[in-house]
Amino acid sequence: MASVTLSNIVKRFDRTEVVHGIDLAISDGEFVVLVGPSGCGKSTTLRMVAGLEDLTSGEIRIGDRVVDRLEPKDRNIAMVFQNYAIYPHMTVHKNIAFGLRMAKLPKAEEEKRVREAAQILGLTDLLDRRPAQLSGGQRQRVAIGRAMVRNPAVFLFDEPLSNLDAQLRAQMRLEIKKLHQTLGTTVIYVTHDQVEAMTLADRIVVMRDGRIEQIGTPTEVYRTPASMFVARFIGSPSMNMIPGRVEAGEIRFDGLPPLQRPGGLESAGGAVFLGVRPDDLKVAADRPAGAFAIEARVEVIEPLGPDTLVYALAGSRELVAKADSKVTLHRGDVVTLVADSGALHVFDAATEQTLRRQEAR
Ligand SMILES: Nc1ncnc2c1ncn2[C@@H]1O[C@H](COP(=O)(O)OP(=O)(O)OP(=O)(O)O)[C@@H](O)[C@H]1O
Ligand SMILES: [Mg+2]
């Protein structure tokens, strides 16, 4: 196992710079997820760690070794891709053992490692099958097995689950998490799926346009996003954003009642966005004192089982809120949406940076 340290990593393709100086220190045994929209540089960053792309400048260390000039096979890493590319003409056994071909291990040691990996991944009874005789999830496990037998210091995953259907993806996600708990190997995992990031990561790295926007635990990026970008990207449905202006003692909104200026708001004035997560905005029977409250007209109701998403219009602004599934709502109902004032975020409209974070709880 090993730590991984990226220092001021820059990547240019011809004249286009796509990664603009990334610093990231990953601890030994940590599970770090790089997440962000398409084209933000996640795969390029991972491929530089793997040695599949050269750095334009900067330095990568795995453990205390600078690996920038090392071939991929000498970096003690194993990578699992989206198109896991297992060989159709080989059995599961041969496919897993293929990961050891470079290592030229004694036959007995090879057999032992293949058996161990198959055991952990639940493939023992399938070792003689060919990929065409496996389900998508089983094939994905073969690809992971092939990486596992090499006992790498670091696992690199690039969207390993995106070819699977939703149910299988949730199942494999759990298996990858268990695998990490069993092996304790350092993992760098790339995805554009914020749910995958939230559920798997010890720490999430939110990327945007070749830069790191925020690094934090899942709870930190969810509860205390550093910017509007992070606030919108993490969490589903996205955080409600209401444009307003900070005046002396309050925040004023078009067509909504003003809000008493929340404590901890540093900015003296100017345009802001008030952010409130659908999870924190509740359809309420009454109007508790001190809470942020808006009247709104119900437009669309989405029952999710345990609770219900309510899309409602406050003036001309659509807001998403949560209601208890036991509350009966109809389109056209006028309801009160309330949020605890501690659950409100305020962003500077010009810089899109957070001015006031949600209070810890
Ligand atoms: N070989 C290349 N030559 C030129 N530009 C490239 C090359 N590879 C990637 N890029 C560009 O670099 C940027 C980052 O690409 P990258 O593949 O790292 O994105 P990503 O975050 O993994 O996106 P996705 O979620 O779509 O996989 C993109 O704008 C892409 O077009
Ligand atoms: Mg990618």
Residue pLDDT, tens place only, 62-106: 999 999 999 998 999 999 887 767 899 999 999 999 888 777 889
The residue among 203, 229, 255 that closes a domain is 229
**264 pLDDT more than 80:** no
Question: Domain with 340 in it: what CATH number?
Answer: 2.40.50.140
pLDDT grade for 288, boundaries at 50, 70 and 90: confident
Gap from CA of 158 to ligand 2 centroid (Å): 7
24 and 107 share one domain: yes
Same domain, 186 and 246: no
pLDDT digits (tens, 9 = 90+) for 19-50: 999 999 999 999 999 999 999 999 999 999 99
The predicted pLDDT at position 172 comes to 86
Asked, for residue 330, whether it belongs to a domain, the answer is yes
Same domain, 159 and 36: yes
Q: Are residues 220 and 288 in the same domain?
A: no
Would residue 315 count as lying in a domain? yes
Tell me: do 268 and 206 sit in the same domain.
Answer: no
Residues 50 and 92 in one domain: yes
pLDDT at 250 over 50: yes
Summarize the confidence of residues 251-276 as an average pLDDT.
78
The residue whose C-alpha atom lies closest to atom 1 belonging to ligand 1 is 13
202 shares a domain with 55: yes
Ligand 1 centroid to Cα of residue 130, in Å, is: 33
On whether both 79 and 105 belong to a single domain, the answer is yes
Residues 165 and 62 in one domain: yes
Q: Does any ligand 1 atom lie closer than 6 A to the CB of residue 169? A: no
- Residue 361: is its pLDDT beyond 50? no
- Going from the Cα of 39 to the center of ligand 2, the distance in angstroms, rounded, reads 7
Atom 27 of ligand 1, nearest CA residue: 38
Q: For atom 28 of ligand 1, which residue has the closest CA? A: 39
E strand spans, 173-327: 186-191, 203-208, 211-216, 240-246, 250-253, 256-260, 270-276, 282-284, 292-303, 307-314, 317-324
For residue 323, the enclosing domain spans 241-356
Tell me how far the alpha carbon of residue 40 lies from the centroid of ligand 2, in angstroms.
Answer: 8
CB atoms within 10 A of CB 292: 23
For position 313, what pLDDT does the model report? 95
- What's residue 256's pLDDT? 76
